[in-house]
């Protein structure tokens, strides 16, 4: 199979390219490195089955020759990135997604969209299953990412209904592992960078907010399973084990042997209080679930970060200098009580079936 991967030079994209090559597929990687890194794919460049195109998918997505599948992963994905590039984030979620869909349509190819758990916003339903429609502030600072992905899902579903494009949608929850950038602003990369350089670990809010952390190898297996299916979903892809941010900080400090302090900062605007996926649909339909626990995943990630000391110093300074500027802060308010507010079952069935027209 020949697969076009947009955003293939990024954290997730490079791991997906590698996994596809490892099983014998050919890969066409498209990236402009706005948030990716050429180092992520340097080891793939000599592979005759790997082809790289420097391209801005918001402008066009052109691939010569046969294309059997398109994996659309291109987008800034961490808050500092999409807050620094708000219009670019909206463009890649809208025009970029449509360009990738048109490529798939021209080649009668399978198309998978890397959507995100940000679809659910600051959820009023816990844990989150795919039938939940979300609680998103459409004009808040995070909306440039949230709404870009919501639009990307909408246009993908419309192309399936209108043009019969074989669409699949993955809603990706917090993922971590080697090739994360030390300064990308995600909690795992920030904590590891700070612990290894002796900087205080930055915790926003009181640290009781929760996340569910999935190791990158597990997440990529889910993307490949979705690529190989004809299912639309959407499918939650993530680890259903929920941990507080404070718990994560304690694990990182213990694993690294760091004596770093923990420093608290105000909670950013619209930062989700609780986040945990229901993955029953992925288990039942795709035969997928995570296998690598957080201890092993963090061990591998810490080893990767530790092997690049030259990057850690500069990244630690960048993180330290941007704590109060990179992410707009929220006015403290009590968290809403969890409620059960699923979307109508009839609407959900209409989205997930492929009869009428397919994952942060």
Catalytic residues: 145
- Report yes or no: 30 and 57 within 8 Å, Cβ to Cβ: yes
Bond into 26 cis (ω within 30)? no
330 and 267 Cβ atoms separated by less than 8 Å? yes
d(CA 121, CA 234): 16
What does the radius of gyration of the chain's CA atoms come to, in whole angstroms?
19
What whole-number distance in Å separates Cα of residue 294 and Cα of residue 247?
A: 11
Ranges of H-type helices in the chain: 11-22, 79-84, 86-91, 97-107, 143-163, 187-197, 216-228, 245-256, 280-281, 294-306, 309-321, 345-352
Strand partners, 72: 6, 113
Number of H helices, E strands in the chain: 12, 13
Length of the chain in terms of residues written: 360
Alpha carbons 132 and 120: distance in angstroms, whole number = 7
Centroid of chain to Cα 242: 17
Residue 273: phi, psi to the nearest 5?
A: -80, -40
Query: For residue 337, what is the DSSP state?
Result: P
Distance CA 285, CA 229 (A): 9
Parallel, antiparallel or unpaired: strands 110-116 and 166-172 = parallel
Least Cα distance to 214 among 236, 237, 191 occurs for 237
Tell me how far apart the alpha carbons of residues 39 and 117 are, in angstroms, rounded to a whole number.
27
């Amino acid at each position: 199979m020949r697969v076009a991967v947009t955003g293939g030079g990024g954290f997730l994209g490079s791991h997906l390219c590698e996994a596809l090559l490892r099983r014998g597929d050919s890969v066409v990687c498209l990236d402009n490195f706005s948030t990716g890194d050429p180092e992520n794919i340097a080891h793939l460049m000599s592979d005759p089955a790997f082809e790289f195109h420097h391209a801005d998918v918001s402008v066009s997505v052109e691939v010569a020759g046969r294309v059997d599948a398109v994996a659309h992963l291109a987008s800034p994905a961490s808050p500092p990135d999409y807050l620094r590039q708000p219009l670019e984030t909206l463009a890649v979620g809208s025009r970029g997604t449509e360009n990738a869909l048109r490529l798939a349509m021209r080649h009668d190819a399978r198309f998978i969209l890397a959507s995100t758990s940000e679809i659910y916003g600051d959820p009023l339903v816990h844990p989150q299953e795919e039938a939940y429609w979300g609680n998103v502030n459409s004009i808040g600072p995070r909306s440039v990412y949230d709404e870009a992905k919501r639009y990307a899902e909408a246009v993908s579903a419309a192309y399936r209904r209108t043009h019969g494009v074989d669409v699949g949608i993955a809603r990706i929850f917090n993922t971590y592992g080697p090739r994360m950038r030390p300064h990308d602003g995600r909690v795992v990369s920030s904590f590891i960078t700070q612990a290894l350089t002796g900087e205080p670990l930055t915790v926003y809010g009181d640290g009781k907010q929760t996340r569910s952390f999935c190791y990158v190898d597990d997440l990529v297996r889910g993307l490949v399973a979705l690529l190989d299916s004809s299912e639309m979903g959407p499918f939650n892809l993530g680890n259903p084990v929920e941990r507080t941010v404070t718990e994560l900080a304690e694990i990182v400090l213990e694993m690294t042997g760091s004596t770093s302090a923990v420093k608290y900062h105000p909670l950013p605007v619209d930062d989700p209080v609780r986040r945990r996926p229901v993955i029953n649909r992925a288990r039942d339909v795709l035969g997928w679930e995570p296998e690598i626990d957080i201890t092993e995943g963090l061990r591998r990630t810490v080893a990767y970060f530790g092997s690049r000391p030259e990057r850690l110093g500069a990244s630690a300074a960048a993180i330290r200098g941007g704590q109060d500027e990179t992410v707009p802060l929220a006015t403290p308010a009590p968290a809403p009580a969890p409620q059960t507010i699923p979307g109508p079952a009839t609407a959900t069935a209409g989205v997930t079936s492929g009869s009428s027209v397919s994952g942060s």
